[in-house]
Amino acid sequence: MHVAIILYDGFDELDAVAPFEVFQNAGAAGADCEAELVALDDREFVTASHGMRVGVDGALDPETDRPDLLVVPGGGWNSRADQSAWAEAEKGEIPDAIAALHEAGTTVAGVCTGGILLARAGILDGRPAVTHGSALSDLRETAAVVVEARVVDDGDVLTAGGVTSGLDLSLHLVEREFGAEIADAVSTEIEYERRTKPFDG
């Protein structure tokens, strides 16, 4: 499974790094799984919301690249900062890329307010979803069906609540795609106990 985690200036570090570590650990535990950090433009680094500079593995071209899974982190939504998930929603390029990849068959997972970027892409219309608790009112203004859950699995579209829920989302996906034994091995490696079962739409 090829996992692409899309980065942009102002993303929340843990939204992206936690899933990256889970998927890379899954690969080390025997799963056919590899994650990479990508951006829509060709650049070497992206600056996250708390100031971490993160190297980018390459540029994602929605017209030619076909990852099996696209992970979309959130970050800075409520601050309405110039570098944030909100700013990316307003620009529209990431939502457009999400829509194109989903249409081409890529499974899409939104972590935290990354879920609102999925909503802006139109792929949550009429579907159950969740986001960070402080942004639920904004998600309710979209066509998504907001549910109370930490992780929502609606097949080819998944969403997760606040920042640390990205761990639960990615571990759930590891179990869904590769089985409980691999997921348990990753949980043991990172010393994390999953909190809830996902809402299954």
Q: What is the DSSP string of the chain?
A: -EEEEE--TT--HHHHHHHHHHHHHHHHTT-S-EEEEEESS--SEEE-TTS-EEE--EE--TTT---SEEEE---STTTT-SSSHHHHHHH-HHHHHHHHHHHTT-EEEEETTHHHHHHHTTTTTTSEE---GGGHHHHHTSSSEE-S-SEEE-SSEEEE-STTHHHHHHHHHHHHHH-HHHHHHHHHHHT-----PPEE-
Q: What is the CATH number of the domain that holds 23?
A: 3.40.50.880
What is the residue range of 182's domain? 2-105+163-200
Number of domains in the chain: 1
pLDDT digits (tens, 9 = 90+) for 119-147: 999 999 999 999 999 999 999 999 999 99
Q: Is residue 139 part of a domain?
A: no
In this prediction, residue 144 carries a pLDDT of: 98
Task: Determine the average pLDDT of the residues in 181-201.
Answer: 91
pLDDT category of residue 190 using cuts at 50, 70 and 90: very high
Q: Is residue 63 part of a domain?
A: yes
Residue 103 pLDDT > 90: yes
Q: Is residue 146 part of a domain?
A: no
Task: Determine the average pLDDT of the residues in 10-26.
Answer: 98
In this prediction, residue 201 carries a pLDDT of: 67
Closest CA to 144 of 105, 108, 113, 118: 118
Q: Is residue 78 part of a domain?
A: yes
Q: Is residue 84 part of a domain?
A: yes
Q: Is residue 196 part of a domain?
A: yes
Q: Is residue 110 part of a domain?
A: no
Residue 186 pLDDT > 80: yes
Neighbours of 194 (CB within 10 A): 16
Task: Determine the average pLDDT of the residues in 26-49.
Answer: 97
Q: Is residue 26 part of a domain?
A: yes
Whole-number Å distance between alpha carbons of 46 and 10? 8
Closest CA to 173 of 44, 31, 28, 17: 31
